[in-house]
Structure 1
Amino acid sequence: MNKTTTATNNTCEHILDVGEKLILNLGFTAMGLNELLATAGVPKGSFYHYFKSKEKFGEALLNRYFSDYVITSKERFADPNKTQRQHLLDYFSLWMTQSCQAACHSKCLMVKLAGEVSDLSEVMREALDHGVTRVIAQLRSSIEAGVEEGSLAIDETPELLADSIYSLWLGAALRAKVSRSDAPFISAMQRTERLLKPIA
């Protein structure tokens, strides 16, 4: 990779990094393009070199977010010293811990943008839907592996259980955001432990 390519990639990633931080604090609609450019310290021409519009920027940001999220989660689920049930419970425990460290004010791009942009941008809605589908598929694979290794006993199909648990936690994240309380996460964790039953 030559220096020009490296600089180009760095500029693009820098704009995405700054934009993600602003959106998590302000929301997508409230984040003005001028504010993004000023904070990132890049000219408008640089932005439009990488993104045709603010909407396309949002799509790229979501695609990057979910790709990084899935890769990181895959690494966590790969520890051979833990059962898949332990991996799943650790995954949701980390979700709760990270959210509550932020005073239950969501730092998850999915939670932040789902309600805001789904009715405003079909492109971003599709990016969200595709990303969530990837996350649920990862949970399903872990549940399937847990059943196969004998660490999990489940009462429904892995597909349905993965979808149900993710929806449970998405709802908990939204409730925690509204109530500024960790109670919805605690309730979701207790329910998850019951759904992901250990082999008796």
Structure 2
Amino acid sequence: MSKPSTRERLIEVGLRLLRSAGYSAAGINQILQAAEIPKGSFYHHFSTKDEFVIEVIERYATGEMERLERNIQSASLSPLKKLRAYFKDLIATYGQRGGPISGCLLGNLSLEVGGQNEEIRTLLESAFSAWQKELAKIIREAIDAKELPRTVRPDDLAALLVNGWEGAQVRAKATQSDKPLELFFNYTFNVLLKP
């Protein structure tokens, strides 16, 4: 297996550090030190930290959309079961079993820098909107499959799921416990979306 390029290494390390430490604590020097790359290499690939952060956000958002696609591909599962499997995977990945809870990068950066940098804020909103749109598609499939009533508004329900998950992530990070994630999951699938 070939060694990742310097740019790829920076993005990988940046993704890990931004998720665990946040925007302010993950300075360029910390990223370079963790990546074991000289300072000039950073500026060869990125002109500013914000340009770098934008690249990291895009990589993270792409990876999360791929996770969603993997979880909903099973033709043998109903739409709600696909959605359930997807959120179970999120809990397994972002809960304590996946290591210390550091939360969703989109949510963390929204709280930390979303109000300070318009380009980053716009990208974060775009990533949340794309995620919501994909969840709404699955909800429409569930309505078509008669798992949910026709009165359900897919876009609103998808927004509620995104908002609920992000809130649960914040609480899980604060408590370093999976309980908020599990509460979100149980209430969502055993009460709100119970067929």
Q: Gaps (5+ residues) in structure 2?
A: none
Counterpart mapping for 1:130-145 below 5 A: 130-145=126-141
What's 1:3 paired with? none
Counterpart mapping for 1:8-23 below 5 A: 10-23=5-18
Distance in 2 (alpha carbons) for counterparts of 1:35 and 1:171? 29
Please give the per-residue CA displacement for 1:36-88, whole angstroms capped at 9, x wherever unaligned: 11221222222122212001100110011101211221122111011110011
> Does the residue aligned with 2:5 lie in a helix, a strand or coil?
helix
Over the residues paired in the alignment, what is the CA RMSD in angstroms? 2.0
- Scaled by the length of structure 1, the TM-score of the pair is 0.87
Structure 2 counterpart of 1:81, one-letter code: S
What's 2:120 paired with? 124
Asked if 1:84 is matched to 2:83, the reply is no
Asked if 1:36 is matched to 2:31, the reply is yes
Q: Does 1 or 2 have the higher relative contact order (CA < 8 Å, sep 6+)?
A: 1
Distance in 1 (alpha carbons) for counterparts of 2:72 and 2:98? 24
Structure 1 counterpart of 2:17, one-letter code: L
Distance in 2 (alpha carbons) for counterparts of 1:28 and 1:129? 17
Does the 8 Å contact 1:105/1:176 carry over to 2? yes
Q: Gaps (5+ residues) in structure 1?
A: 1-5
Distance in 1 (alpha carbons) for counterparts of 2:168 and 2:88? 13
Which range is displaced more, 124-133 or 33-42?
Answer: 33-42
Q: How many residue pairs are counted as aligned between the two chains?
A: 192
* Residue of structure 1 aligned with 2:70, choices 70, 75, 92: 75
Does the 8 Å contact 2:103/2:169 carry over to 1? no
What's 1:195 paired with? 192
What's 1:50 paired with? 45
26 and 163 in structure 1: CA distance in 2 versus 1, 3 angstrom threshold: same
Does the 8 Å contact 1:104/1:176 carry over to 2? no
What's 1:146 paired with? 142
140 and 100 in structure 1: CA distance in 2 versus 1, 3 angstrom threshold: same
176 and 72 in structure 1: CA distance in 2 versus 1, 3 angstrom threshold: closer
Identity fraction in percent: 29
